[in-house]
């Protein structure tokens, strides 16, 4: 029972690390990363790019980039001898962006994310200027793998946390405050001491920085709203509603590909849970509720 509870808590943490809160079935427990590569076919129509061209284009890839373009880029990197481009965050970033499109196909997502972890591990020893970005994509890819194989957290969760802490210091701008957002969400979702590293005050600090400095990302607003609610339901209710409303507006106005559907579902579930309307301003004072202790 103790082992099950521990795995359940780790799984709760891992569910959002890759950027979403969608739970797939617990597929099994494995001590190492899956080694099978996900199929990227068909790639016949891909435009050949040399490393310099690929590097230049891939720096601007994000969720808005079409899936075919992402698959072409990763497919070309797979078939080349290791070079300078493999010492950057680009291969791990490509795996993360493609894996994010396969939330409804856990096996495909797992294989892509595991590949992303391996690319990041290849790039990390270089210690170059992209170190923080590499650490970030290592962490979010690893989080998606742990989501399927929770016992992997026993050997990998500490390295995931260290990677996020490093990325938060070296490259907080990656993925529009991604390191702050993901580390803040980790503090928010994890069990509090002595069972875990959960700390709502740290979460609130990191997520507020993400919202203030990188308001372009809807998930910064969403997780900041959750932190406000977890910290103080009375004082935080009005501001949390504003942040949830901003999340809704951004998802309606900007293209985040298939990932947006998952984020909308997550938004609705949380708004329904706390009984806060997100499409209109708060019209009356909230009923008193106890401050949560973590």
Instruction: Give per-residue pLDDT as tens, 195-253.
Output: 788 899 999 999 999 999 999 999 999 999 999 998 887 778 889 999 999 999 999 98
Select the more confidently predicted residue: 154 or 227.
227
The first and second tokens of residue 41, run together, are 């076919």
The first and second tokens of residue 49, run together, are 């790019």
At residue 185, the pLDDT reads 95
Please tell me the distance from the alpha carbon of residue 132 to that of residue 172, in angstroms, as a whole number: 8
Reported as a single tens digit per residue, the pLDDT across 84-131 is: 899 899 999 999 999 999 988 999 999 999 999 999 999 986 555 568
Domain total of the chain: 2
At residue 23, the pLDDT reads 34
Question: What average pLDDT does the segment 66-83 reach?
Answer: 93
209 and 132 in a common domain: no
**Which value, to the nearest 10 degrees, does the dihedral of the CA atoms of residues 161, 185, 224, 285 take?**
-140
Name residues whose C-beta falls within 8 Å of residue 148's C-beta, 6 or more positions apart in sequence: 24, 26, 27, 28, 106, 109, 110
Name residues whose C-beta falls within 8 Å of residue 3's C-beta, 6 or more positions apart in sequence: none
41 and 117 in a common domain: yes
Query: Which band of pLDDT confidence, cut at 50, 70 and 90, is reported for residue 25?
Result: very low
Q: Do the domain assignments include residue 179?
A: no
At residue 154, the pLDDT reads 76
Determine contact, residues 37/173, Cβ cutoff 8 Å: no
Q: Do the domain assignments include residue 178?
A: no
What distance lies between CA 205 and its chain's CA centroid? 18
57 and 146 in a common domain: yes
The first and second tokens of residue 80, run together, are 């080349």
Q: Do the domain assignments include residue 117?
A: yes
pTM, entire model? 0.83
Least confident of 34-43, 62-71, 254-263, 276-285: 276-285
At residue 147, the pLDDT reads 84
Determine contact, residues 250/215, Cβ cutoff 8 Å: no
Query: Which band of pLDDT confidence, cut at 50, 70 and 90, is reported for residue 276?
Result: confident
Q: Do the domain assignments include residue 184?
A: no
Q: Do the domain assignments include residue 190?
A: no
């Amino acid at each position: 029972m103790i082992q099950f509870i521990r795995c359940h808590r780790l799984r709760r943490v891992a569910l959002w690390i890759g950027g979403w809160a969608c739970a797939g079935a617990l597929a099994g427990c494995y001590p190492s990363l899956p080694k099978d590569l996900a199929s990227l076919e068909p790639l016949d129509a891909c435009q050949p790019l040399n490393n310099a061209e690929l590097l230049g284009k891939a720096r601007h890839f994000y969720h808005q980039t079409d899936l075919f373009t992402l698959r072409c880029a990763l497919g070309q990197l797979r078939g080349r001898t290791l070079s300078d481009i493999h010492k950057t965050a680009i291969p791990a970033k490509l795996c993360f962006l493609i894996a994010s499109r396969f939330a409804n196909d856990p096996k495909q997502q797992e294989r892509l994310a595991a590949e992303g972890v391996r690319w990041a591990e290849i790039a990390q020893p270089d210690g170059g200027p992209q170190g923080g970005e590499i650490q970030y994509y290592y962490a979010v890819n690893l989080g998606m793998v742990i989501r399927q194989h929770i016992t992997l957290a026993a050997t990998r969760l500490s390295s995931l946390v260290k990677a996020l802490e490093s990325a938060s210091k070296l490259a907080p701008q990656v993925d529009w405050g991604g390191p702050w957002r993901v580390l803040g969400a980790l503090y928010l979702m994890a069990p509090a001491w002595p069972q875990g590293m959960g700390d709502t005050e740290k979460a609130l600090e990191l997520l507020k920085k993400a919202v203030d400095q990188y308001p372009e990302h809807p998930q910064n607003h969403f997780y900041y709203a959750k932190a406000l609610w977890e910290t103080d339901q009375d004082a935080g209710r009005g501001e949390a509603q504003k942040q949830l409303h901003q999340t809704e507006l951004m998802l309606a106005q900007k293209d985040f590909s298939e990932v947006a559907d998952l984020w909308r579902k997550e938004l609705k579930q949380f708004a329904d849970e706390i009984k806060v309307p997100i499409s209109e301003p708060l019209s009356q004072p909230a009923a008193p509720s106890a401050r949560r202790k973590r």
